[in-house]
Amino acid sequence: MAEIVTVEEHVSGEAGPALAGVVGAIAEAARQIERRIRVAGLHDVYGAYGATNVQGEQQQKLDVFANDVMKAALVGLPQVAAIVSEEDDAPVVFERAGGEEPMFVAVFDPLDGSSNIDVNVNVGTIFGVHQVGTEGVQATFLHRGLRQVAAGYVVYGPSTVMVVTTGTGVSAFTLNEDGVFVRSGEAMTMPDKGPYYSTNEANVASWPVVYREYLARLVGEGLDGQRYSARYIGSLVADFHRTLLKGGVFLYPPTEKAPKGKLRLLYEANPLAMIAEQAGGAAVNGPERILGLTPEHIHQRTALILGSRCEVEALQTAVLEWRA
């Protein structure tokens, strides 16, 4: 029988117990979120909560539940100095004594894919972890994605799977019958090129022309003779998870409604970009590498093109030529 390795044991082996404690707490929160989602129809947890978050979006009851669970899991850890959540206007900074131990900031989107929450379609949790440096906690919020010491996501679906990197490859953990995330994949790699593009095509008319031409190329002549098929769920985690396993490209370009892009740099784009790169893929905002961007504020939005190396590089090259 295969050896059973939990996500916390795995991360501890890769990056030490302090970081493993943070990832383990997120796994525990995900276990609780999964339990609530699994029986959501039996309880009064579907629908709107009645408030809007700082992004002006209506919060769903499950958004609020997931945010509370994530915060409760992390607040108790002495090595977590602060958290940044999509659902909270400002970072929450904890009073910590400090000392020799490493300290971390966790950034997360507690429940991503709000339009799919009420309809029994995949949703997810996305997280990144930064280590607090000598420059202090406040500066850590605006670290570039390159400085993440861990990143990952949980996709709640037919199976609930947590995908994690600490900078030495990508591993997957499947939630078992006992509520434990057990390692089910190691050294995961994304195909260099894949069969699918994943995007909200209803926005095409309001994309910059270079993105329209790129999409027309994927469905027309294709790349290197391979033409593409479409897959779009509308939950970033699920669309990315498929892209990681099967290859291809996810794109959320700038639109008229969201000229800087819709997705958030800190807790959506950066964690998935780190996973993509660690698996041999790539992530850009058009011209630039996502992980190299310096955030100006915690809820900053970005265009996001993410997936197999071949498709992402083709897009980046086209954008750079178009701008030249």
Interface with Mg ion (CB under 5 A): 109, 112
CB of 222 to Mg ion, least distance (A): 31
Among 52, 58, 115, 226, binds ligand AHM (CB under 6 A): 115
Residue 52 binds ligand AHM, judged by CB under 6 A = no
Residue 170 binds ligand AHM, judged by CB under 6 A = no
Name, in order, each residue with C-beta under 8 angstroms of 27's C-beta and a sequence gap of 6 or more: 6, 7, 8, 154, 162, 173, 181
Structure tokens at 288: 């630039």
Name, in order, each residue with C-beta under 8 angstroms of 202's C-beta and a sequence gap of 6 or more: none
State which residue, 228 or 240, has the beta carbon closest to Mg ion: 240
Residues 232-251 that bind ligand AHM (CB under 6 A): 234-236
CB of 64 to ligand AHM, least distance (A): 13
Burial 120-152 (b: 16+ CB within 10 A, else e): eebbbbbbbbbbbeeeebeebbebbbbebbbbb
CB of 263 to ligand AHM, least distance (A): 6
State which residue, 34 or 109, has the beta carbon closest to ligand AHM: 109
Residues 252-311 that bind ligand AHM (CB under 6 A): 262
CB of 45 to ligand AHM, least distance (A): 16
Cα 13 to Cα 64, 166, 288, distances in angstroms: 33, 11, 33
CB of 40 to ligand AHM, least distance (A): 16
Out of Mg ion, ligand AHM, none, which partner does residue 63 contact, by CB within 5 to 8 A per kind? none
Q: How many residues does the chain have?
A: 324
Rounded to an integer, what distance in angstroms lies between the CA atom of residue 113 and that of residue 69?
17
Q: Are 152 and 127 in contact (CB under 8 A)?
A: yes
Q: Nearest residue to Mg ion, using CB?
A: 112
Tell me the residue ranges of DSSP E strands in the chain. Answer: 48-52, 58-60, 80-85, 92-93, 104-112, 123-131, 148-156, 161-165, 170-175, 181-185, 196-198, 229-230, 248-252, 263-264, 282-284, 301-302, 304-307
Out of Mg ion, ligand AHM, none, which partner does residue 235 contact, by CB within 5 to 8 A per kind? ligand AHM
| Residue 225 C-alpha from the chain's centroid | 31
Rounded to an integer, what distance in angstroms lies between the CA atom of residue 94 and that of residue 90?
13
CB of 15 to ligand AHM, least distance (A): 27
Coil, strand or helix: which one is 92? strand
Q: Which stretch binds ligand AHM (CB under 6 A): 5-13, 68-76, 110-118, 159-167?
A: 110-118
Residues 172-211 that bind ligand AHM (CB under 6 A): 200
CB of 116 to Mg ion, least distance (A): 11
Among 4, 13, 48, 57, binds ligand AHM (CB under 6 A): 57
Out of ligand AHM, Mg ion, none, which partner does residue 115 contact, by CB within 5 to 8 A per kind? ligand AHM
Nearest CA-CA partner of 180 in 39, 40, 10: 10
Q: Which stretch binds ligand AHM (CB under 6 A): 109-117, 141-149, 169-177, 185-193?
A: 109-117
What is the spatial order of strands in the sheet that 123-131 belongs to? 92-93, 80-85, 104-112, 123-131, 148-156, 161-165, 170-175, 181-185
Structure tokens at 190: 């994304």
Out of ligand AHM, Mg ion, none, which partner does residue 128 contact, by CB within 5 to 8 A per kind? none
# binding residues, ligand AHM (CB under 6 A): 12
Out of Mg ion, ligand AHM, none, which partner does residue 57 contact, by CB within 5 to 8 A per kind? ligand AHM
What is the DSSP-derived secondary structure letter of residue 86? T
Residue 113 binds ligand AHM, judged by CB under 6 A = yes
Please report, as ranges, the residues that interact with ligand AHM according to CB under 6 A: 57, 86, 109, 112-115, 200, 234-236, 262
